[in-house]
Chain A
Amino acid sequence: RKEVEQDPGPFNVPEGATVAFNCTYSNSASQSFFWYRQDCRKEPKLLMSVYSSGNEDGRFTAQLNRASQYISLLIRDSKLSDSATYLCVVNPTSSTLGRLYFGRGTQLTVWP
């Protein structure tokens, strides 16, 4: 079983829609969770960290469900500029320096 699994999509939504992605992780001891955004043929960039209590940054909300071992990303009022691939990233344990595990990404296309 992979450390991190994501539905690759694609998700195609109209502007203004709300869309949610989930990501499951296999190691219950996982400590840190992130969402990165990657535009086509570009480098990944940190979108937001995911905290146990959940966190919000403008139109983006990230949540962690430890019992079910998944994290989610909710995008409200989608913009054309949100079109990208969203990468779920997990640190499987606290002791493995540098060993972040990346999901293969969920592709989102927002159409006008």
Chain B
Amino acid sequence: NAGVTQTPKFRVLKTGQSMTLLCAQDMNHEYMYWYRQDPGMGLRLIHYSVGEGTTAKGEVPDGYNVSRLKKQNFLLGLESAAPSQTSVYFCASSKETATNEKLFFGSGTQLSVL
């Protein structure tokens, strides 16, 4: 049982480049989330999804887009990367709303934007 899988694990981009981070979960969870974690700060919610075909903005959505075409996958896109987007990105999923349920996290993606 893989749980939540994120790819890639590491990536270096130049300013202005684009990329997509993939998150896949095999637990049939309805809810999926993308967070970023920066030194000295807590995890901050970028976007989330409450089910296939739905997405919503979180706390820091600017500069990111997401898609949830299939229930098991949640993609995070950066159309034009900026150095401020250098961070560790975590995907997570939960069976029900995360406000009451355990979050399962992927192992993270270290992204550096030069």
List residues of A whose CB falls within 8 A of some B CB: 4, 8, 31-32, 36, 41-46, 87, 91, 94, 96-105
Contact = CB atoms under 8 A, between A and B. Distances in A.
The main secondary structure of chain A at its interface with chain B is loop
Contacts of A98: 31, 33, 45, 48, 50, 56, 58, 97-99
A63 to B, nearest CB: 19
B97 to A, nearest CB: 5
Q: Which 7 pairs across A and B sit closest by C-beta, in order of nearness? A: A102-B42, A43-B105, A91-B99, A98-B48, A102-B43, A104-B42, A46-B102
Nearest to B38: A104
Interface residues of B, number: 25
B65 interface: no
Given A32-B100, A99-B58, 10 more contacts: A43-B90, A43-B106, A44-B43, A44-B103, A87-B43, A91-B98, A94-B99, A98-B31, A98-B56, A99-B45
Interface string B92-114: 00000111101101111000000
Interface in B3-59: 31, 33, 35, 40-45, 48, 50, 56, 58-59
Contacts of B35: 102
Nearest to A6: B42
B99 A105 contact: no
Contacts of A46: 102-103
